[in-house]
Amino acid sequence: MTWLPLDRARWPLAALLASLAMLGAAHGFERFAHLAPCPLCYTQRQVYWGAAAIAVIGALLQRRGASSRMMFAVDSLLGVVFLAGAGVAAYHSGVELGIFPAPDTCAVGAADQTLSGDLWSQLNAPLAVPACAEPKWWFLGLTMASWNAIISLSLAALSLVCAWRGDRQADMAGMAVR
């Protein structure tokens, strides 16, 4: 597995960058493409925030000289979190495709709201929530939730590979001693 330049010690920083990139992409779609997120979209984002927090802790532990066992635990935990994210995204994709029922927090088909006129009176008005079952973006035949499931599953696999791979620097040091 020399094709992968990541190991147990380096993965938390890479996982942090991947999590921040996914959050940045989600916020970019919301801000620039005007795609309002549904409740399941927010749940998918929470998984990345959790992974980012774990990755920061792992990077700090690694910097402080954490043991290989501790880094194995951090990388394994990242794998579990990303796997949970893949599960949430796959469920959202299934809701979009009509395979699973939408949760109660998802609207059936809320219209876009625009603010105009007297803003003060609109503060008490109910806020329209985008429907989870209506995909707003497709690419290569897959929805955003489907792509997120694929990416989360890939990040989970990388986390577990890096956890089991060991510490590259320790392996290199062991080879130099022989």
pLDDT < 50 positions in the chain: 1, 3, 109-112, 169-178
Angle value at C-alpha 41, between 38 and 43, nearest 5 degrees: 115
* pLDDT the model gives residue 53: 92
Distance of CA 170 to the CA centre of its chain: 30
Residue 71 forms part of a structural domain: yes
Residue 70 forms part of a structural domain: yes
Residue 115 forms part of a structural domain: no
* pLDDT the model gives residue 138: 62
Across-strand partners of 142? 139
Residue 116 forms part of a structural domain: no
| Distance (Å) of CA 129 to CA 4, 28, 60, 102 | 42, 19, 38, 13
Residue 166 forms part of a structural domain: yes
Q: Looking at the 3D structure of the chain, how many domains does it have?
A: 1
Looking at 30-162, which runs of residues are DSSP E strands? 138-139, 142-143
* pLDDT the model gives residue 49: 93
d(CA 39, CA 53): 21
CATH of the domain at 165: 1.20.1550.10
d(CA 19, CA 62): 18
* pLDDT the model gives residue 131: 66
Residue 118 forms part of a structural domain: no
* pLDDT the model gives residue 136: 79
Residue 16 forms part of a structural domain: yes
d(CA 146, CA 82): 14
Residue 110 forms part of a structural domain: no
Domain range enclosing 138: 11-105+130-172
* pLDDT the model gives residue 66: 66
* pLDDT the model gives residue 164: 77
The pTM is what? 0.72
| Distance (Å) of CA 57 to CA 21, 73, 83 | 18, 12, 19
3-state secondary structure of 102: coil
Across-strand partners of 143? 138
